[in-house]
Amino acid sequence: MSETDQAQHQTQPGKNDAAPGKILIVEDDADTNALIETVLDMAGFKCVQTYSAEEALQYLEQEVPDAIITDIMLPGMSGNSLCEHLKMRRRTNLIPVIILTALRTQKDKFYGLRVGANDYLTKPFKADDLTRCIRRNIERRNKMKEEGINRSIQIDLQSDLKLLDSVNELLTVVLQDTEVDELEAQKVKYAVLEMGHNAIEWGNRNDASLVVSINCHMTKDRLVFRIQDQGSGFAPGNLEHAATPDSDPAAHLSLREKLGLREGGFGILLSRKYMDEVEYNEKGNCVTLVKHMVPRNPPEA
Ligand SMILES: Nc1ncnc2c1ncn2[C@@H]1O[C@H](COP(=O)(O)OP(=O)(O)OP(=O)(O)O)[C@@H](O)[C@H]1O
Ligand SMILES: [Mg+2]
């Protein structure tokens, strides 16, 4: 977007002196884009309108807005890919991303949260819902900014949606408060998601009255996650229906089919690849994941 365009799309200077924040809109449909801008402008936000993910990325190279509202179906890069890209990077991870889309199935929402979106709204939207959602996410971001390093976080959850949301938040804290490499942080996210999902699905057998506890402890050297379910546990060393590191990783699939199990059997193997340590307790209902952090400037020998 040219500077003139940008100036045209922004609200007049002076009007937003007490603005609650600057919002980047990513929406290819000009009417919807204008509608979002009007709604946010009336609520006192300052808006920057872009019409593709690429245009938004260009803007984000120079500026850090207080929140981003993005559509999913965009020409070129999708809103989901934009979100994933921003959430992987330390510089942009903390910016709340709110997906505003016509895609309304649970699967779409899951995917949006999996790539790191802070919230997921569907069209047609109510002005109040959008502005409240933005405010809530900016407040949550501010709170996360204020808290410091060397801390423990304890989360209790019962559902996959809450798991996705919590793990996205953990990734933000990890990126902000530690020096972990961005790619390693992404691996941590997916390992915790796999193990959290196992705890809900296999440990608690999807029983919504049971709780999965995730404890995250961060120090300068290590990230430690403990994921505990309320199930009876299992023997992780003896799983014929799951992939093993030293044989054909798909060898177990025919057994799964015979047993009537859904496709899969890769979660534990993936987590072992992504983390430095994966240890189960004796019972098998609590797993500890550890990622060692390599100091940026290792001390000289
Ligand atoms: N917390 C748990 N409690 C009881 N059993 C578990 C638990 N976690 C894993 N398991 C058992 O270990 C098996 C292997 O888990 P893994 O995550 O590798 O594969 P999956 O969950 O079956 O499939 P995928 O993760 O690829 O979707 C599971 O099928 C399940 O039998
Ligand atoms: Mg699994």
167 belongs to a structural domain? yes
Q: Which ligand is nearest to the CA of 286?
A: 1
| 70: CATH | 3.40.50.2300
**Ligand 1 atom 3: the closest Cα is on which residue?**
203
102 belongs to a structural domain? yes
115 and 12 co-located in one domain: yes
- Domain-terminating residue out of 102, 123, 146: 146
Q: State in Å: Cα 268 to ligand 2 middle.
A: 6
- Domain-terminating residue out of 117, 146, 175: 146
Confirm or reject: Cβ of 268 under 6 Å from ligand 1. Answer: yes
133 and 227 co-located in one domain: no
- Domain-terminating residue out of 146, 162, 195: 146
Residue 5, both tokens: 């365009």
Residue given tokens 């990325």 in the structure block: 57
183 belongs to a structural domain? yes
Q: Which domain holds residue 203?
A: 152-292
Confirm or reject: Cβ of 198 under 6 Å from ligand 1. Answer: yes
86 and 56 co-located in one domain: yes
Contact 185, 174 (CB under 8 A): yes
Confirm or reject: Cβ of 164 under 6 Å from ligand 1. Answer: no
50 φ, ψ to 5°? Answer: -130, 160
How would you label 16-53 residue by residue, b for 16+ Cβ within 10 Å and e otherwise? beebbbbbbbbbbeeebbebbbebbbebebbbbbbbbb
79 and 206 co-located in one domain: no
298 belongs to a structural domain? no
248 belongs to a structural domain? yes
Rounded Cα distance between 278 and 104, Å, is: 36
29 and 98 co-located in one domain: yes
Residue to substitute in 190, 193, 198 for testing ligand 1 pocket (most ligand atoms within 8 angstroms of CB): 198
Q: Which residues contact 158 (CB under 8 A, 6 or more apart)?
A: 200, 204, 208, 209, 210, 211, 212
Q: What is the pLDDT along the chain (301 residues), one digit of tens a residue?
A: 443 344 344 433 334 344 479 999 999 999 999 999 999 999 999 999 999 999 999 999 999 999 999 999 999 999 999 999 999 999 999 999 999 999 999 999 999 999 999 999 999 999 999 999 999 999 998 887 776 544 677 888 889 999 999 999 899 988 988 889 999 999 999 999 999 999 999 999 999 999 999 999 888 789 999 999 999 999 998 899 999 888 888 899 999 999 999 999 999 999 999 999 999 999 999 999 999 987 655 555 4
Q: Which ligand is nearest to the CA of 256?
A: 1
128 and 167 co-located in one domain: no
Q: What local confidence, expressed as pLDDT, does residue 177 receive?
A: 84
Confirm or reject: Cβ of 112 under 6 Å from ligand 1. Answer: no
Q: Which ligand is nearest to the CA of 253?
A: 1
Confirm or reject: Cβ of 118 under 6 Å from ligand 1. Answer: no
301 belongs to a structural domain? no
Question: Nearest 5 degrees, angle CA 206-CA 211-CA 213?
Answer: 120
Q: State in Å: Cα 38 to ligand 1 middle.
A: 48
222 φ, ψ to 5°? Answer: -145, 150
Q: State in Å: Cα 274 to ligand 2 middle.
A: 14
39 and 104 co-located in one domain: yes
| 208: CATH | 3.30.565.10
297 belongs to a structural domain? no
How many domains does the structure of the chain reveal? 2
167 and 283 co-located in one domain: yes
Confirm or reject: Cβ of 267 under 6 Å from ligand 1. Answer: yes
Q: What local confidence, expressed as pLDDT, does residue 58 receive?
A: 98
38 and 168 co-located in one domain: no
Confirm or reject: Cβ of 202 under 6 Å from ligand 1. Answer: yes
142 and 205 co-located in one domain: no
14 and 32 co-located in one domain: yes
Q: What local confidence, expressed as pLDDT, does residue 101 receive?
A: 98
Contact 200, 147 (CB under 8 A): no
282 belongs to a structural domain? yes
Confirm or reject: Cβ of 265 under 6 Å from ligand 1. Answer: yes
Q: What local confidence, expressed as pLDDT, does residue 7 receive?
A: 36
**Ligand 1 atom 8: the closest Cα is on which residue?**
198
161 and 286 co-located in one domain: yes
